[in-house]
Amino acid sequence: MDARLNYFGNPLGAKFLKHLNSAGHALGLSALPMSTQELVKIRASQINGCGFCTDMHTKDAAHAGETQLRLNLVATWREANVFTEAERAALELTEQGTRIADAAGGVSDAAWAEAAKHYDEEQLAALVGLIALINAYNRINVLIRQPAGDYVPGQFA
């Protein structure tokens, strides 16, 4: 299976991705724990059906030391007892922020309040930016049907 468009090789696409990658780099330097960042990216990618990003972020998380058990349970985090309360709050915010069109009120005050109990303002800013960013990446990859399975951790470093 080939992508519909070589977005990485397209001059405008590459320029756009360079800016998205810069935003991702800034978020990666934030105080939001990297394990939480990967969980957020994985969950949004699962919801959006982005195989490329799901492949990338599960492999990156495993490479960084995330356990296979937790990776296996991200999609069913509500029923799993392997995530901290802070991670659960981040995953709930991720789901609501990713499914904005599905909820008449957008992100609930309860989800925001729960996240705010666990994260300071910088971390919340990082979380909001990360949810928005991974949704942008997901949409690019789903639109162009970027194939999944060949990602090697660190290949875009």
Q: Are 144 and 17 in contact (CB under 8 A)?
A: no
Q: Are 61 and 46 in contact (CB under 8 A)?
A: no
Q: Give a yes or no: residue 3 inside a domain.
A: no
Q: Give a yes or no: residue 8 inside a domain.
A: no
Domain that holds residue 63: 33-144
Separation between Cα atoms, residue 147 and residue 6, nearest integer Å: 11
DSSP state of 81: S
CATH number of the structural domain spanning residue 132: 1.20.1290.10
DSSP reduced 3-state for 89: helix
Kindly state the percentage of the chain with pLDDT values over 90. 92
Residue-wise pLDDT tens digits, 6-36: 998 999 999 999 999 999 999 999 999 999 9
Number of structural domains the chain divides into: 1
Q: Give a yes or no: residue 96 inside a domain.
A: yes
Entry pTM = 0.95
